[in-house]
Amino acid sequence: MIWLCVAGVLIVAFLIFHKLFVQRRACTSTATLHGKTVIVTGSNTGIGKATALALALRGARVIVACRSKQRGEDAAKDIRRESGNDEVVFMQLDLASMKAIRSFVETFLKTESRLDVLINNAGLATAGRTEDGLGMVFGVNHIGPFLLTNLLLDRLKECAPSRVVNVSSIGHSMGTIDFNCINTHKRLALGTSNRDIFKIYCHSKLCNVLFTHELAKRLKGMGVTCYSLHPGSVRSELGRDLNGTFMNILKCISKVLIQTDEMSGAQTTLHCTLQEGIEPLSGRYFSDCKLQDVKAEAKDDEIARKLWDVSERLCGMA
């Protein structure tokens, strides 16, 4: 009898986990994007590549923006072949370098006449520092997209109605913002263990949600709307540089419980990119193709403004 009870509890727990983290609704929008241009960062693999493919299938001109030239060109070639859309091009973008980000924007603005959607999809979880001395996770997951978005805002306004879509994570709910650490160390937290990096990753995903919250306020009435989201639990290359007991346990769990279909993981990104009528929800957070509430810290106006100000200073924009 005891074993039956234990088995019942485990089955219920699995079903709840599957419902919350694995099972995904599909984007139902029928919108097409002919004549529209979309940038998808980190679109050489995983959910980013699936997102780029889905948008190419809808007729968009898609900019595959990622660090690796070879992998980016290969991804663009794959997407062109699978979609039958020749308007898929690779542009090199290294979010760990502010110089590289500015160079990307300069090239983009010279060669592309439109920008209708910017999808900040790229993210990583690894130790180290960026070229500019920031913690790697902080720099690539938050400061890089912050700078990129701000440098492209004028073009987004010119092409309004347009959108900014920031791929966050449910992990943001476990994050917090330590401004003393940011100001002193240019990092979201100290420590280099896998457990520390996982925590820092969660902090960076909270930054994504707060950035979206503040960006929406600053763009109100300008025709540019923005959304943050949890894409779905898909095994990806996110933690490819992490090893050890902690990460090995997470990887073993993911093999059993987490879906591998990147297109399923891209559905909420597609919803925020395409869904008609969500403009009044600018600045909000989505999961499983629907609006979700967030914890108090993730929608705190003062924290969001302070993060914006610190980010501007670190980018040299202040």
82 in any annotated domain: yes
State yes or no: pLDDT of 241 exceeds 90: no
The total of other beta-carbon atoms located within 10 Å of residue 189's CB is: 21
143 in any annotated domain: yes
Enclosing H/E stretch for 175: none
Q: Model confidence at 252, in pLDDT bands (50, 70, 90)?
A: low
Q: Model confidence at 5, in pLDDT bands (50, 70, 90)?
A: very low
**Mean of pLDDT values over 75-102:** 98
14 in any annotated domain: no
Range of weakest confidence among 20-29, 42-51, 68-77, 127-136: 20-29
288 in any annotated domain: yes
Q: Model confidence at 234, in pLDDT bands (50, 70, 90)?
A: low
96 in any annotated domain: yes
pLDDT in tens, 260-302: 578 999 999 999 999 999 999 999 999 999 999 999 999 999 9
Q: How far apart are CA 238 and CA 192, in angstroms?
A: 16
> Where is pLDDT greater, at 314 or 259?
314
Q: What is the pLDDT of residue 232?
A: 82
Q: What is the pLDDT of residue 244?
A: 56
Q: What is the mean pLDDT of the chain?
A: 90
State yes or no: pLDDT of 253 exceeds 70: no
State yes or no: pLDDT of 183 exceeds 60: yes
**Mean of pLDDT values over 119-146:** 98
Q: What share of the chain is helix, strand, coil (3-state, %, to 5)?
A: 55, 15, 35
The catalytic residues are 201
Q: What is the pLDDT of residue 18?
A: 45
Q: What is the pLDDT of residue 13?
A: 45
154 in any annotated domain: yes
Q: What are the helix (H) ranges across 129-274?
A: 136-138, 144-158, 179-185, 194-218, 245-257, 262-265, 267-274
The DSSP output letter for 142 is: I
Q: What is the pLDDT of residue 260?
A: 54
- Give 18: exposed, middle or buried? Use CB within 10 Å, 0-12, 13-18, 19+: middle
CATH code (residue 215): 3.40.50.720
145 in any annotated domain: yes
180 in any annotated domain: yes
Q: What is the pLDDT of residue 245?
A: 57
Phi and psi (nearest 5°) for 268? Answer: -70, -35
Range of the domain at 50: 36-315
For residue 121, give every residue at least 6 positions away whose Cβ sits within 8 Å of its Cβ, in sequence order, or none.
40, 41, 42, 43, 47, 48, 51, 165, 167, 269
For the chain, the domain total comes to 1
